[in-house]
């Protein structure tokens, strides 16, 4: 599943890895390749364009975090956007309503009847349902009823059929009454499919839905449907509001197009997936897991997440804004010291502060930061916002307050001034996430 797209995307990452440092051009090239990979996997054109744009925006607005490389951060951005595309926060647990009524709809041959039985089997084993009924509402294909009966036996659930009538709506109503009378807590309605969505089919499904008032309407869609899948889903959704999509045949050489387009185009989440012909070849569709299967980058994703926990993106962005404006006072200095202190070794910490590349390293450095903090804490709010006003008598007071010498206060102010000058110089140069990007 998704192998070919996974291979290609991994190639893109591999090429970036070789570069060590990412320029804007590198990112543009990589995104170009990812774009053509997605298009050749039959992902909807508009979905691809939006995806690429979102990734690009995110890349340019992100500062590289300590301990991870720009390429790793790039992988994480792609991962997050992929999860978004597949449908984050998907609700997969059935509600507590009993009997829970689920209507299955879809094109001819998409896997409705198979998925009806799989779902019955899945809910029986993994959820809290003890008495399941499947109802055969496909009156057009004579073998359809036999097929459902066979599958229901495999799933060990009850099956309601009526070979005497050709009225699907009537069967649905009678089946529901039968289920309610017999205390079934889960009732699934298998319906007929068509090669193309036609008025008759849509009318019938609308009628059935109006009569049985389903709690869930699942569209069963062939995962190999490609470009067409999203349009089909859209049209069904307009007729009967869908609550979920079941993507089938993902065990085949499906090119991922359907999986990656459906949610974005319809707003309907993919809830389950069929991964084989056997009754147990059925799983909840977890966007994160699928994204990981596509990228194969579980390690990097958790690494970046950990680093992000330590320094919030917001802090980084705020600092960047201030740097751009050339506004950088003692408060920012203190904040920055505190936030990067969380990140790990003093050595790398000091490398992160512009102008402190050559500062002494090691345990001594850690002490220095503590003393620096003590000095800044002894300043008034006014002094922190505008260190220029700190004259001789203020220096004396600050030294006393921090328990350190005036010389040390002087030294800090001198260093701060140097930094400010440097910041001003940087003001006009581009300061984007690639600036720190060396391994």
State the binding partner of 347 from Mg ion, ligand GTP, none, CB within 5 to 8 A by kind. Answer: none
Q: How far is the CB of 106 from Mg ion (least distance, A)?
A: 9
Q: Which of 248, 261, 402, 434 binds ligand GTP (CB under 6 A)?
A: 248
Checking 378-385 for CB contacts under 8 A at 24+ apart, the result is 378/402, 379/330, 383/330, 384/329, 384/330, 384/331, 384/334, 385/329, 385/330, 385/331
Number of other residues whose CB lies within 10 A of the CB of residue 52: 17
Q: Which of 110, 261, 266, 402 binds ligand GTP (CB under 6 A)?
A: 110
Largest interatomic CA distance in the chain: 102
How many whole angstroms from its chain centre is CA 159?
Answer: 38
Q: Which of 43, 77, 144, 330 binds ligand GTP (CB under 6 A)?
A: 144
Q: Which of 109, 354, 355, 401 binds ligand GTP (CB under 6 A)?
A: 109
| Number of chain positions touching ligand GTP (CB under 6 A) | 22
Q: Which residues from 369-408 bind Mg ion, rule CB under 5 A? A: none
Q: How far is the CB of 262 from Mg ion (least distance, A)?
A: 21
Residue with tokens 């701060």: 416
**Binding window for Mg ion (CB under 5 A); candidates: 32-40, 104-112, 384-392, 412-420:** 104-112
The Cα 426–Cα 354 span in angstroms is: 10
| Number of chain positions touching Mg ion (CB under 5 A) | 2
Q: Which of 237, 249, 255, 263 binds ligand GTP (CB under 6 A)?
A: 249
- Residue 62 interacts with ligand GTP (CB under 6 A)? no
State the binding partner of 87 from Mg ion, ligand GTP, none, CB within 5 to 8 A by kind. Answer: none
Residues 6+ positions from 294 with CB-CB distance below 8 Å: 2, 5, 6, 9, 82, 256
Q: Which residues from 252-271 bind ligand GTP, rule CB under 6 A? A: 252
State the binding partner of 44 from ligand GTP, Mg ion, none, CB within 5 to 8 A by kind. Answer: none
How many whole angstroms from its chain centre is CA 164?
Answer: 49
Of the pair 141, 382, the CB lying nearest ligand GTP is at 141
Of the pair 59, 107, the CB lying nearest ligand GTP is at 107
Q: Which of 17, 97, 141, 370 binds ligand GTP (CB under 6 A)?
A: 141
Task: State the Rg of the chain over Cα.
Answer: 30
How many whole angstroms from its chain centre is CA 288?
Answer: 6
- Residue 26 interacts with Mg ion (CB under 5 A)? no
The string over 338-352, giving b where at least 16 C-beta atoms fall within 10 Å of a residue's C-beta and e elsewhere, is ebbeeeeebeebbbe
State the binding partner of 94 from Mg ion, ligand GTP, none, CB within 5 to 8 A by kind. Answer: none
CA angle 54, 43, 64 (to 5 degrees): 30
- Are the beta carbons of 46 and 257 closer than 8 angstroms? no
Q: Which of 304, 257, 419 is nearest to 65 (CA)?
A: 304
Q: How far is the CB of 15 from ligand GTP (least distance, A)?
A: 34
282-284 and 270-274 strand pairing: antiparallel
- Residue 113 interacts with Mg ion (CB under 5 A)? yes
The Cα 81–Cα 55 span in angstroms is: 7
Number of helices followed by number of strands (H, E) in the chain: 19, 8
100-106 and 244-248 strand pairing: unpaired
Between 344 and 373, how does the x/- string for binding to ligand GTP read (CB under 6 A)?
A: ------------------------------
Between 180 and 219, how does the x/- string for binding to ligand GTP read (CB under 6 A)?
A: -------------x--------------------------
265: region left, alpha or beta (phi > 0 left; psi from -120 to 50 alpha): alpha
Of the pair 112, 249, the CB lying nearest Mg ion is at 112
State the binding partner of 251 from ligand GTP, Mg ion, none, CB within 5 to 8 A by kind. Answer: ligand GTP
Q: How far is the CB of 161 from Mg ion (least distance, A)?
A: 12
Between 63 and 102, how does the x/- string for binding to Mg ion read (CB under 5 A)?
A: ----------------------------------------
**Binding window for Mg ion (CB under 5 A); candidates: 74-82, 112-120, 346-354, 428-436:** 112-120
CA distances from 415 to 102, 192, 211, 409 (A): 69, 77, 77, 10
Q: State the residues that interact with ligand GTP by CB under 6 A.
A: 106, 108-114, 138, 141, 144, 193, 220, 248-249, 251-252, 274-277, 281
Q: State the residues that interact with Mg ion by CB under 5 A.
A: 112-113
């Amino acid at each position: 599943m998704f192998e070919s797209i996974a291979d290609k995307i991994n190639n893109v990452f591999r090429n970036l890895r070789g570069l060590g440092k990412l320029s804007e051009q590198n990112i543009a090239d990589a995104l170009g390749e990812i774009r053509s990979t997605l298009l050749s996997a039959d992902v909807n054109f508009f979905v691809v364009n939006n995806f690429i744009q979102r990734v690009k925006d995110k890349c340019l607005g992100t500062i590289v975090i300590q301990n991870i490389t720009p390429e790793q951060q790039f992988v994480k951005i792609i991962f997050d956007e992929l999860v978004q595309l597949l449908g984050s926060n998907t609700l997969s647990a059935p509600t507590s309503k009993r009997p829970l009524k689920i209507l299955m709809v879809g094109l001819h041959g998409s896997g409705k009847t198979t998925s009806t039985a799989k779902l019955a089997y899945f809910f029986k084993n993994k959820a809290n349902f003890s008495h399941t009924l499947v109802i055969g509402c496909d009156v057009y294909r004579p073998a359809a009823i036999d097929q459902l009966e066979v599958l229901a036996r495999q799933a060990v659930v009850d099956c309601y059929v009526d070979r005497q009538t050709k009225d699907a709506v009537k069967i649905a109503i009678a089946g529901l009454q039968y289920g309610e009378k017999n205390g079934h807590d889960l009732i699934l309605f298998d319906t007929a499919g068509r090669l193309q969505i036609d008025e008759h089919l849509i009318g019938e499904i609308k009628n059935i839905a109006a009569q049985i008032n389903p709690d869930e309407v699942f569209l069963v869609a062939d995962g190999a449907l490609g470009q067409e899948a999203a349009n089909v889903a859209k049209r069904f959704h307009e007729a009967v509001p869908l609550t979920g999509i079941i993507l089938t045949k993902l065990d085949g050489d499906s090119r991922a197009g359907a999986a990656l387009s459906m949610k974005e185009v319809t707003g309907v989440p993919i809830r389950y997936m069929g991964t084989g012909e056997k009754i147990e070849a059925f799983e909840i569709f977890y966007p994160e897991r699928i994204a990981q299967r596509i990228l194969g980058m579980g390690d990097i994703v958790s690494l970046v997440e950990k680093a992000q926990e330590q320094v919030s993106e917001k802090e980084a962005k705020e600092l960047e804004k201030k740097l751009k404006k050339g506004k950088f006072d003692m408060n920012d200095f203190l904040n920055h010291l505190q936030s990067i202190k969380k990140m790990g070794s003093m050595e790398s910490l000091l490398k992160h502060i512009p102008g402190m590349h050559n500062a002494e390293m090691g345990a001594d450095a850690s002490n220095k930061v503590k003393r620096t903090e003590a000095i800044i804490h002894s300043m008034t709010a006014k002094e922190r916002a505008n260190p220029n006003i700190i004259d001789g008598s203020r220096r004396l007071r600050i030294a006393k307050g921090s328990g350190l010498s005036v010389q040390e206060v002087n030294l800090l102010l001198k260093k701060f001034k140097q930094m400010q000058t440097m910041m001003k110089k940087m003001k006009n140069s581009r300061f984007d996430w690639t600036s720190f990007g060396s391994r």
